[in-house]
Amino acid sequence: MVCTILKEEIDCIFMTRQGCTYNGGHCEPVVEACEGCDHLKEVDSDYYCVTSANPAAKWNIGSCNFATHVVTQISNGDVAKVNPLKASKRAASGRS
């Protein structure tokens, strides 16, 4: 259902006819690590994430998987995107 509280015009799984069902009844603001991401939305001088109700939780165990401003850097300075599924299959077969 479309949010009517902070992220107006954004379809959200926590929004119901009775209001926001997320913890506390509204989303949490973004964290410092989110700076530069394309998913930020400014609401009343605070910034919120359009893909996550709790941005801090997205950074708890590494980089946010929805972040648009994070790139993987390998040691020779090249930038590479890694498919985690293929990487785990490669690791399981012993190839590098």
Q: Where are the alpha helices (DSSP H) in the chain?
A: 55-58, 84-93
In angstroms, rounded to a whole number, what is the distance separating the alpha carbons of residues 85 and 37? 24
Of 12 and 52, which CB lies nearer to ligand SF4 in the complex structure? Answer: 52
- Is residue 51 close enough to count as binding ligand SF4 by CB under 6 A? yes
Reading the block at residue 37, the tokens are: 């991401």
Of 36 and 91, which CB lies nearer to ligand SF4 in the complex structure? Answer: 36
CB 50 within 8 A of CB 10: yes
Smallest separation, CB 62 to ligand SF4 (Å): 11
Q: Pick the binder of ligand SF4 from 28, 34, 42, 75 (CB under 6 A).
A: 34
